[in-house]
Amino acid sequence: MTSPPTGAFPRLPLSSRADVDPHHSPDPSARRPGGGSPSVVALGGGHGLSANLAALRRITPLLTAVVTVADDGGSSGRLRDELGVLPPGDLRMALAALCDDSEWGRTWRDVMQHRFSSTPERATTLDNHALGNLLIVTLWELLGDPVAGLEWAGALLGARGRVLPMSTQPLVIAGDVPDLPPGTGRRPRDRPAGTGAARTITGQALLAKQADVCNVRLLPPDATACPQAVEAVGLADWVIMGPGSWHTSVLPHLLLPELRRAICGSEARRCVTLNLSPDTETQGKTAADHLRVLRAYCPDLTLDVVLADPSATEDRGDLEEVAGSLGAEVFYADVRAHPGTAVHNTLRLAAAYQEIFERHG
């Protein structure tokens, strides 16, 4: 990433990012002790994290999104390859989800999500690029600091919260899949590395299309976590993981050593929000199996609450047993937008979180 030019933007004070009381500022140093809304850190990426943020911004202004940075597909992948920057797509989606419902918020949400398109007769190098991706990368080049760039983007949008990358260096995600003929063999719940014939799939875009994924890892394995993200987790009242693509959006936060230690060592309460249906990565896995995946990769992880929609839970007994082994109760709530869809209803999800926060202090 290039160095900022002389006279570049000054670093943006967090307290000027939103018209909120200092007690409710995303900047921990600006808060007054005692009372107020809970400080929440939401971990993930893509549409799952966006659904969480759209719900959580309605019930707390002390909200931080910590976003995966392993995307290598589409507009994000092109910008990452061509400019050597973090993939901006999931960060952009998180910022857009934090826009409020005013005309200003709706307009800037749509601007950030606007995607250019071209035709064979009128091809353009902007084809499929999201404008928000280009805006974020522009700020990174001007400021030379990915965190500062995201703060400026959030200030422009009036975002109701803060967006941080899980690491300030682009990461690569890899995993193994069974090397078996189609239709043969048995789907493993989360087979350890070296068990049976397997082949390695490298890259988030490819891995997300695979079933029976196991032995997921981040490259480089010694990557450092974003210091501000580690700090936010340490100061949080609640840390929320999921929903989202389980192996490529939720799990990576537990694969980054510094962030894993912060999550497991934080005094925050921990909640896992389960998906409304299996995705390709978790094809054949039950709701309880999703928790087994997290436990397999992070044996030190303990939880307080598992949020599950009853319509997406086939075996409540198994789910409650596995959740209990992690120290958690299962909180059932109807959070589906419409029957048969895998989309969360924002207001129902917000109400579920509100009740969870109140019940657990």
Going by the DSSP 8-state scheme, the letter that residue 147 receives in this structure is: H
- pLDDT digit string, tens, across residues 285-303: 899 999 999 999 999 999 9
| Residue 2 confidence (pLDDT) | 40
Q: How far apart are CA 265 and CA 257, in angstroms?
A: 12
Half-sphere exposure of 139 (CA within 13 A, CB side): 22
Q: Strand, coil or helix: what is 308?
A: strand
| Residue 11 confidence (pLDDT) | 54
Helix (H) or strand (E) holding 124: none
CATH class of 168-361: alpha beta
Distance between start and end Cα atoms, the chain: 43
Q: How far apart are CA 197 and CA 178, in angstroms?
A: 6
Find out whether 211 and 177 touch, Cβ atoms under 8 Å. yes
Nearest to 291 by CA among 310, 271, 309, 311: 271
Angle at which helices 146-157 and 89-97 cross, to 10°: 30
| Residue 78 confidence (pLDDT) | 85
Return the HEC string of 16-76.
Answer: HCCCCCHHHCCCHHHCCCCCCCCCEEEEECHHHHHHHHHHHCCCCCCEEEEECCCCCCHHH
- pLDDT digit string, tens, across residues 188-198: 444 444 456 88
Q: Which residue has the higher pLDDT, 336 or 180?
A: 336
Mean pLDDT within 278-291: 87
Find out whether 204 and 90 touch, Cβ atoms under 8 Å. no
pTM across the whole model: 0.85
Delimit the domains of the chain by residue range: 70-165, 168-361
Q: Strand, coil or helix: what is 224?
A: coil
Average pLDDT, the chain: 85
